Amino acid sequence: MNPSTALAHAVLDELVHQGVRDVVLAPGSRSAPLAFEALRLSRLGRLRLHVRIDERSAGFLALGLAKVSGDPVAVVCTSGTAVANLMPAVVEASYGAIPLVAVTADRPVEARGVGAPQTIDQVGIFGDMVRFAADLGAARRHDAEDPDAPQRAARASVGLALAAALAVGPRGPGSHATTPAHAGPVHLNVGLRPPLVPDAGPAPSAVTTVARPPRARRPPLDGCIPQPIDALLEDLPGRGVVLVGDLPCSSLRGHHQWLAELAAACGWPIIAEPSANLHEAPTALPHGVLVLGADGFLERHRPELVLSAGLFGLSRPTMDLLRAARRHVAVDLPSVGREVCDPVRTVERVLHGIPLAPDQPMVDPAWLPAWQAAAEQAAEQVHRIREVGPRSGLAAVARLWEELTAEGLLLVAASWPVRQLEAVAGRRRGVRVVGNRGANGIDGLVSTAWGAALAHQAAGGGPAVALLGDLAFLHDHNGLLAGPEEPRPDLVLVVLDNDGGGIFHQLEQGRTEHGHAFERLFGTGQGRDLAAIARAAGVPASRVGDPHVLAHDLGVAIAAGGVHVIVVDVPDRAGEAALFEQVRGAVSDRLAAGAG
């Protein structure tokens, strides 16, 4: 092989050996050796190849695959601004602890810094967003005495990179020896010299490699502490609350089960955000955010301890819970985030894992029933949303939650949709919820959903649904562009179309005194036919205005298989915000009437 082909072979082959099973490729000339090798390995059945024309979408496709599978996924691109377009996905992977492997082609060292076209300074471009970075280079010429030296060095770097991506490698900058490593993205910058195509000779399929199983990485209960909580914390109270945000949904590694059992043994309610995936936990409170936001409830039910885990903080009532609690202890997990989640600076102690249930629990017999009764009263008010008006986002989200298929996957967008789901989602079995909760952006969500659905279904899961706003859909409608040979999931994208930024009506910017500037600066309605945009990308689409029709179209799309878009008309943004406040007020009134 010529040096660049040999280096590409070493990098891709070692990635497969280290557990990579999916590679996402954005085309380019400098990355040609990596592209040819990825195609060769895919034809041998050693990896699954995905090709995208947009590097940003490619990065988020890889992120979705890694998020749901829990395995590292590589995204390969050419040099120059192509690399910069991976930054949004790298940032989300960093703050979401997702093992994303950015493999970027580059000019060789002698062609850098001399004004060569499509060449930028790629070394260290991702800064401290990545857990590991290496600059690899093809040899200038064949060395008869040690022909494999560059390939050995590349394989060693790939091994270090994958260890860091899975939180068993070197700690990042600023970490201390006592700080657990966190999973996250890594960067392999690969300098390649011409020729950039395989040499003439044997067909690529004749180049064989001995298949080796991927290396085992983590213990099965990584992130759990085999000690009871009352041995770790002094004065364990009877009045506690477990607050859980986004958790990894791949292999689970005992996180969900241990948290549920701990809360049940202590007699503590669980306030869980949608992507915590604790909908089935015995003490989990559906509509918990509405309970927390009810006037006076926290004053009457002030917890002595909040134990938090995962990335949380969707709603302000959650922050009020932390401020009201006398104590706040956080659980830090290697597969969650890149830092301890402490948004209001209330954490007094960090546990590096989930402890066992207490040996001698001090259960307050009245504590949990009071919270559960409040949640039941909140559920009654949520159920009445349908009576308010069928063309509301809340009603559509509530109906969608009920209609989700068992063993299905739901990706929910940040901003407005996830907050609507947080309010209306009741108890459910067999549904997994994911979202880009690392940086909470609305970019790349179509591609993330596509990758998440592929990974979910590769593991035997059912159909996938993505719940997006219209701006999130427009932000990444390039994610629908996939060639005829690309793997396609069974995925339905449900787009709530309120023609703009509905979330801002809930915030300070939406106050009456800012009405003169609101629509241009924050509402930003585009007036586009989203169903037509989907059809232009070759994706079947329909438009509905009634939750009952949504349920019908969802069932038809799931039965048909493949990728579909359903646009839900939600015409009144301000009315939607008012409806949300109406539901909150109704819950407050109901709980005040039954105060105790």
The 10s digit of each residue's pLDDT in 116-157 is 888 889 999 999 999 999 999 887 766 677 778 889 999 999
Mean pLDDT, residues 523-539: 91
Q: Which residue has the higher pLDDT, 104 or 204?
A: 104
Mean pLDDT, residues 259-285: 94
Mean pLDDT, residues 16-29: 95
pLDDT higher than 50, residue 205:
no
Q: Are 501 and 524 in contact (CB under 8 A)?
A: yes
Mean pLDDT, residues 405-433: 90
The CATH number given to 224-375 is 3.40.50.1220
What pLDDT does 573 receive? 79
The pair phi, psi for residue 318, each rounded to 5°, is -65, -40
Q: Are 348 and 322 in contact (CB under 8 A)?
A: no
CA distance linking residue 315 with residue 273, whole number of Å = 9
pLDDT higher than 60, residue 505:
yes
pLDDT tier, 115 (very low <50, low <70, confident <90, very high otherwise): confident
Mean pLDDT, residues 407-412: 94
pLDDT higher than 90, residue 386:
no
Mean pLDDT estimate for the chain: 88
Span of 68-77, 196-205, 240-249, 300-309 with lowest mean pLDDT: 196-205
What pLDDT does 575 receive? 79
The CATH number given to 384-587 is 3.40.50.970
Q: Which residue has the higher pLDDT, 172 or 496?
A: 496
Which secondary structure element, helix H or strand E, spans residue 382, and what is its range?
A: helix 367-383
CA distance linking residue 539 with residue 559, whole number of Å = 15
The radius of gyration of the chain from alpha carbons, rounded to an integer in Å, stands at 25
Using a pLDDT cut of 90, give the percent of the chain over it: 65
Domain boundaries, the chain: 3-203, 224-375, 384-587
Span of 31-35, 236-240, 290-294, 571-575 with lowest mean pLDDT: 571-575
pLDDT tier, 336 (very low <50, low <70, confident <90, very high otherwise): confident
CA distance linking residue 484 with residue 183, whole number of Å = 34
Mean pLDDT, residues 306-314: 94
pLDDT higher than 90, residue 201:
no
pLDDT tier, 172 (very low <50, low <70, confident <90, very high otherwise): very low
What pLDDT does 170 receive? 47
What pLDDT does 29 receive? 94
Using a pLDDT cut of 70, give the percent of the chain over it: 92
pLDDT higher than 50, residue 111:
yes
What pLDDT does 218 receive? 55
What pLDDT does 143 receive? 67
| Superfamily of structural domain 3-203 | Thiamin diphosphate (ThDP)-binding fold, Pyr/PP domains (3.40.50.970)
Task: Label residue 67 exposed, middle or buried (CB < 10 Å: 0-12, 13-18, 19+).
Answer: buried
Do domains 3-203 and 384-587 share one topology? The answer is: yes
Span of 43-52, 92-101, 247-256 with lowest mean pLDDT: 247-256
What pLDDT does 202 receive? 61
Say which residues have a Cβ less than 8 Å from residue 345's Cβ, sequence separation at least 6: none
Which secondary structure element, helix H or strand E, spans residue 101, and what is its range?
A: strand 100-106
In total, the chain counts a number of residues equal to 596
Q: Which residue has the higher pLDDT, 421 or 360?
A: 421
Which pair of structure tokens corresponds to residue 184? 């996250």
Q: Which sign, positive or negative, has the C-alpha torsion 251, 411, 308, 266? A: negative
Mean pLDDT, residues 383-394: 71
pLDDT tier, 362 (very low <50, low <70, confident <90, very high otherwise): confident
pLDDT higher than 80, residue 308:
yes
Mean pLDDT, residues 417-443: 91
pLDDT higher than 90, residue 248:
no
Instruction: Give the strand order in the sheet containing 464-469.
Output: 431-434, 408-412, 464-469, 491-497, 563-569, 541-544
Mean pLDDT, residues 335-339: 85
What pLDDT does 506 receive? 74
Mean pLDDT, residues 185-197: 94
What pLDDT does 213 receive? 55
